[in-house]
Amino acid sequence: MASNKLVFLTGLRSELIQKVLSYAPNDYQIVVLDETSSQGEIIAQVRDADFLLCYRQDPSDGVLRSLEKCRLVQLLAAGYDRINLDILAELGIPCSNNGGANSWAVADQAVLLMLAVYKQLLASDTSTRNGDWSKPISGLNTFEMADKKIGILGFGSIGRQVAKRVQGFDAQVQYYDLDRLDNDTEVDMGVTYVSVEELFRTSDILTCHTPLTKNTTHIVNSRTLSMMKPSAVVINTSRGSVVDEPALIDALNKGLISAAGLDVFEKEPVDPDNPLLSMDNVVVTPHMAGTTWDTWARRAKFGFENMERVDRGELAQAVVRNFDAM
């Protein structure tokens, strides 16, 4: 029996490529293509590929249309907004994300940003190093998580991990998602479903964990930001375009909300002149939330187990939904 051919499109460094591929079945024929590979080379290699594995290198429409025998496109990331799902649907090829493999890491980052904002972490670090000790801390500008309403926009695997973490700080959790949980599950998880308007209106911290679709692009905008409490904080570790950046900048400047913690931006790498980078009430990180050493084993194990499922004639898990086609 012929072995399966896997094409791995990636921008990872060699050490991480080796880590990921250490979980591949021994009999797979594996071709690794990076940013230096031409479109022609990629197309030639994927024509007879059984599986396409992707991370930090997005297949073009031309590459996707060249998948003549592919049975699964497997992403190592959670997001799938940069791959043409319409073409894959036309070809009958399922596309799966990482099945929540990085949900722990992203949830950790979301809480980190919440705490960094609430505890004035960056200002305190700078003042301590500069000999100003506790100068930035007035007693009026630091806060606890306890009893705060944490509004989770998007309650998938990452949103649920965030809920667990903030509940450990005695915070209250409310959420909005297109797929509402049943009542018993909500009770078991200690979460409350609210409308998207109420989520913006009543949350002390709004944290975004929704996929990027036509309906979620700029869901955080001038209208929804104007609903929020002046003391509210916006956290985004999902996709930059979930937030309308000019509207966020305006809301921060006008005091419509108090602060923001951002791991993602509409343009990445972020422009050094982006006004968000010069704001004292904004904490930023470079789209690093899901990138930890610990995630690679989970990402790789899930991806290769998914390929093995398909090879046995079973359905793939974590197949993404094309919300824009619904």
* 314-326 residue pLDDT tens: 999 999 999 887 6
Q: Check whether residue 84 and residue 107 sit in a common domain.
A: no
Domain extent, residue 254, equals: 103-284
Q: Which residues contact 295 (CB under 8 A, 6 or more apart)?
A: 101, 102, 104, 105
Q: Are 117 and 256 within one domain?
A: yes
Host H or E run for residue 31: strand 29-33
**What is the domain-level CATH number for residue 9?**
3.40.50.720
For residue 203, is pLDDT > 60? yes
C-alpha 81/C-alpha 78 separation (Å) is 10
Q: Are residue 139 and residue 194 in the same domain, yes or no?
A: yes
CA distance 167 to 147: 9
Is 239 annotated as catalytic? yes
How distant, in Å, are the alpha carbons of 148, 191, 287, 310 from that of 315? 41, 31, 32, 6
Residues 108 and 70 placed together within one structural domain of the fold: no
Tell me the mean pLDDT in the region 255-270: 98
* Pair 95, 142 in one domain: no
Instruction: Express each pLDDT in 102-134 by its tens digit.
Output: 999 999 999 999 999 999 999 999 999 999 999
- Per DSSP, 240 falls in state G
Say yes or no: 199 and 272 in one domain.
yes
Verify that 268 and 300 share a domain, yes or no: no
Question: What is the model's pLDDT at position 324?
Answer: 84
Structure tokens at 101: 């493999």
Q: Which of 160, 218, 239, 298 is catalytic?
A: 239
Are residue 109 and residue 228 in the same domain, yes or no?
yes
The radius of gyration of the chain from alpha carbons, rounded to an integer in Å, stands at 21
Q: What percent of the chain has pLDDT over 90?
A: 98
Q: Is 218 a catalytic residue?
A: no
**pTM for the structure as a whole:** 0.94
Q: What percent of the chain has pLDDT over 70?
A: 99
User: Which residue is catalytic, options 90, 144, 268, 308?
Assistant: 268
Task: Verify that 299 and 162 share a domain, yes or no.
Answer: no
Q: Which residue spans within 196-267 are E strands per DSSP?
A: 205-208, 233-236, 259-262
Q: At what angle do helices 157-167 and 103-118 cross, to 10 degrees?
A: 50
Q: Are residues 112 and 206 in the same domain?
A: yes
What distance in Å separates the CA atoms of residue 188 and residue 310, rounded to the nearest whole number? 33
Claim to verify: residue 243 and residue 219 sit in the same structural domain:
yes
Q: Is 297 found in the same domain as 179? A: no
Count of structural domains, the chain? 2
Q: How many residues does the chain have?
A: 326
Max distance between CA atoms of the chain, in angstroms, equals: 71
